Amino acid sequence: MNNPIRQDETHFIQLFGRSQDTMPQQHRNEENVITTAASEYAAPQDLLKGKIILVTGAGAGIGKAAALTFARHGATVILLGRTTEKLETVYDIIEENGWPQAAIYPMNLEGAAIHDYETMAATIEKEFGQLHGLLHNAGLLGKLGPLSQYDPDMWQRVMQVNVNAEFMMTQALLPVMRESGLASILFTTSNVGHKGRANWGAYAVSKFATEGLMQTLADEEEGISQVRVNCINPGRVRTAMRAGAYPGEDPMTLKAPEEIMAAYLYLMGDDSQKVNGQTVNAQ
């Protein structure tokens, strides 16, 4: 990689000037798209052409697959995560494939405060001028166990990453998204985010909170902006987080992140422009 524009040691964005002209063209089949369920959505190759999309937790698991999928469908993806090397790997794959130039934005959501999000919003506004998509994907599982014994410090960490960071980032980025025409904010929920389950502790509570955040914001944006706000529920997916929660499970019985991308594409692309305030299952 070359030409990094560093802001400070922990907080920088890297920008590259590749043209998007190499993206293949394909016309969409509106009839097929509209009648297909989100999990079976057949995305046109150029679905996200010209879109700027920020993905959190873009270095691994579902976030990595989403970032690569969005780039493959024409988006310029801003890769956010806490481990720069992982983000660089994703960046390199995008570059090798000749997809639109990505940007890297390392950030630890656990330690970030509102001024970090304001800096992020100002940087995106300056470098891109618009933001059409925001996938809140980064998440912390924490330790599983009964609430009666749940570590309060772990509770704070999980809520900081899974809820407070989402709120602060969304608040900071909303102005540029409102100015960008059709835009999609997508939060990531879980099965334990709608029905409580023993031992899922702060993680489950954080996903309930995420759904509340999504529904409240969706209702507020309805009719006043072109920003739609929804949740995606990935279901059981073969990732490090899933393995941490179910160490005895055979991962090969689970779908890979790449296999659940249809609904992510549907919710990021303009075919879902009338979908607002919904929780959509990816499988």
Give the whole-angstrom CA distance, residue 163 versus residue 111: 13
Among residues 33 and 109, whose Cβ is nearest to ligand NAP?
Answer: 109
| Residues 214-253, interacting with ligand NAP (CB under 6 A) | 234, 236-237, 239-242
Sign of the torsion angle spanned by Cα atoms 161, 232, 257, 283: positive
Give the whole-angstrom CA distance, residue 283 versus residue 269: 18
Rounded to a whole number of angstroms, the minimum distance from the CB of residue 103 to ligand NAP is: 16
Instruction: For residue 209, give Cα distances in angstroms to 28, 162, 164.
Output: 36, 9, 10
Of the residues 69, 76, 101, 137, which one makes contact with ligand NAP according to CB under 6 A: 137
In this structure, what DSSP letter does residue 272 have? G
Residue 8: strand, helix, or coil: strand
**Residue 55: which region, alpha, beta or left (left: phi > 0; alpha: psi -120 to 50)?**
beta
Of the residues 33, 43, 62, 102, which one makes contact with ligand NAP according to CB under 6 A: 62
Rg of the chain over all Cα atoms, to the nearest angstrom: 18
Give the interface segment with ligand NAP, choosing from 2-10, 22-30, 57-65, 264-272 (CB under 6 A). Answer: 57-65
Give the interface segment with ligand NAP, choosing from 81-89, 92-100, 171-179, 272-280 (CB under 6 A). Answer: 81-89
Rounded to a whole number of angstroms, the minimum distance from the CB of residue 56 to ligand NAP is: 6
Residue 235: strand, helix, or coil: coil
**225 alpha-carbon distance from chain centroid:** 20
| 161: contact with ligand NAP by CB under 6 A | yes
282 closest CA partner among 268, 261, 256: 261
Among residues 48 and 60, whose Cβ is nearest to ligand NAP?
Answer: 60
Residue 77, strand partner residues = 53
Catalytic residues: 203
Among residues 57 and 133, whose Cβ is nearest to ligand NAP?
Answer: 57
Among residues 86 and 228, whose Cβ is nearest to ligand NAP?
Answer: 86
| 10: contact with ligand NAP by CB under 6 A | no
| 158: contact with ligand NAP by CB under 6 A | no
Of the residues 13, 47, 55, 60, which one makes contact with ligand NAP according to CB under 6 A: 60
Residue 142: Cβ within 10 Å count: 23
Residues that bind ligand NAP (CB under 6 A): 57, 59-63, 81-83, 86, 108-110, 137-140, 161, 188, 190, 234, 236-237, 239-242
